[in-house]
Structure 1
Amino acid sequence: MKNTLLKITAVLAIIFLIGACSTDETSVKNDAQQNGTLLAKGSIWEGALGTVNSVGQTKFAVNKNLLLADFESILADQGEPTDLTDIFFELKKNETDPDDQTYVLIGTNGGGTSIGVMLKAVGASSLYLDDANFSSVSEGFTSTTCRGCATGCNMAFIRLQGKKVFYCNENGCGEFCTKNESN
């Protein structure tokens, strides 16, 4: 009887441990799915996403996992589900005017897929979504996806009629480089 009770307790403890194991990333994805809407339509995107210090180093002001989960949801909605491995801020120069620069937020899988949004610096150091191309965050904003070879198909921008526009710089990828926009 004592051995049976001990075995049952051990099995229940193992089942409990298996059920309790969950990564932060899994929890974030599940929360986003349970809400029934993309976090991208919510408040995380409405405030400062990051900060820039006096020497140009960036720091996230929001949970990076939430941003990654949103980017992954956008990619899944495009019919190309992708697990992203990194997210970062990058200062991009206009391909036709190197004095024209902007910060972008980019998520990548490290193997040929990247997704990004344009940012604007507000005040001395806060980075927000650049709302020049949309009316409100709650209605959606434009993200750009570049897919292709891992050594190219990088996000770049130019200005057309005063607006910043992403394009995917092929960098030798040729026909394998594709661009997709979502909002």
Structure 2
Amino acid sequence: MKRKILQSTICFLLIGMAWSCSNDSDVVMSDAGSRDIRQKNKNVWEGQIAEEVDGQLILTADRDELIEAFQSILLRQSDGENVEINQITLVRKFASNNSQDSAVFLIGGGRSPGGSTVSSGVILVAGGTGSGKMFFSPGPINAEGDPTSVSCWGCGTGCFLEYYNIDGHKVPYCNSAGCGPLCDRIFD
């Protein structure tokens, strides 16, 4: 058991380091078609996504554009398996290893054609002192114009997106919650 925990911790640290070491110069556009997709998704990720008013999280970005953006992420991650996103959720989560640390996640959820539940999430950050406005967490954008995201593919009753706080970095993972080996995490 200790060995598994150690292996998992090392894996999360390596992923966190890779995530934090990327920069905008890593972006490569391959053709004009990619530029169109990148520009469309880029707009939704660059603007205000949500707002917190009196402790309540309110979606301010266009819901349909966010659904399309998450479907684009999942299509790429699944090597062409079309996933229909049917819900967009804003949720405040607390780090699994530190109940004092919280983060707001924007999560697109749905089902794969095979019936697996799928959720893909990005972390939002507050913009401006006391404004309550929330934006996509500054981080790498890939060639398709999508932000770094974590997606959880699993059974109908589990495989939920959670995170650890490791040395000040929020490192997302998929909690199998009873799915066991049916819970897969895809990070890009």
Q: What TM-score do the two structures reach when normalised by structure 1?
A: 0.72
Do the aligned partners of residues 181 and 108 (structure 1) sit closer, same or farther apart at CA in structure 2, a change above 3 Å counting? same
1:104-144 per-position Cα deviation (integer Å, ceiling 9, x unaligned): 0001016511000011122331111111x437999652111
Equivalent position SS for 1:172: coil
1:164 to 2:165 alignment: no
Q: Counterparts of 2:64 and 2:144 in 1: how far apart (Å)?
A: 20
Instruction: Trace 1:23-34 onto structure 2 (pairs within 5 A).
Output: none
Q: Counterparts of 2:145 and 2:96 in 1: how far apart (Å)?
A: 30
1:177 to 2:175 alignment: no
Identity %: 28
Match of 1:117 among 109, 122, 126: 122
- The amino acid of 1:116's aligned partner reads G
Q: Counterparts of 1:108 and 1:143 in 2: how far apart (Å)?
A: 13
Q: 2:8 matched to which residue of 1?
A: none
Q: 1:130 matched to which residue of 2?
A: 137
Which one has a larger percent strand, Structure 1 or Structure 2? 2
- The amino acid of 1:43's aligned partner reads N
Instruction: Trace 1:84-95 onto structure 2 (pairs within 5 A).
Output: 84-95=85-96
Gaps of 5+ in 2: 1-32
Q: Say if 1:46 and 1:137, in contact at 8 Å, map to a contact too.
A: no
Instruction: Trace 1:44-123 onto structure 2 (pairs within 5 A).
Output: 44-54=44-54, 56-78=55-77, 79=79, 80-109=81-110, 112-122=117-127, 123=129
- The amino acid of 1:126's aligned partner reads K
Moved over 2 A (4+): 33-36, 133-141
- The amino acid of 2:136's aligned partner reads L
Do the aligned partners of residues 107 and 139 (structure 1) sit closer, same or farther apart at CA in structure 2, a change above 3 Å counting? closer
- The amino acid of 2:137's aligned partner reads D
Larger radius of gyration: 1
Q: Counterparts of 1:46 and 1:59 in 2: how far apart (Å)?
A: 17
Equivalent position SS for 1:84: strand
Q: What TM-score do the two structures reach when normalised by structure 2?
A: 0.71
Q: Counterparts of 1:74 and 1:99 in 2: how far apart (Å)?
A: 30
Higher relative contact order (CA 8 A, sep 6+): 2
Equivalent position SS for 1:36: helix
RMSD: 2.4
Do the aligned partners of residues 137 and 67 (structure 1) sit closer, same or farther apart at CA in structure 2, a change above 3 Å counting? farther
How many pairs are equivalent?
147
- The amino acid of 2:140's aligned partner reads F
Instruction: Trace 1:37-48 onto structure 2 (pairs within 5 A).
Output: 37-38=37-38, 39-40=40-41, 42-48=42-48
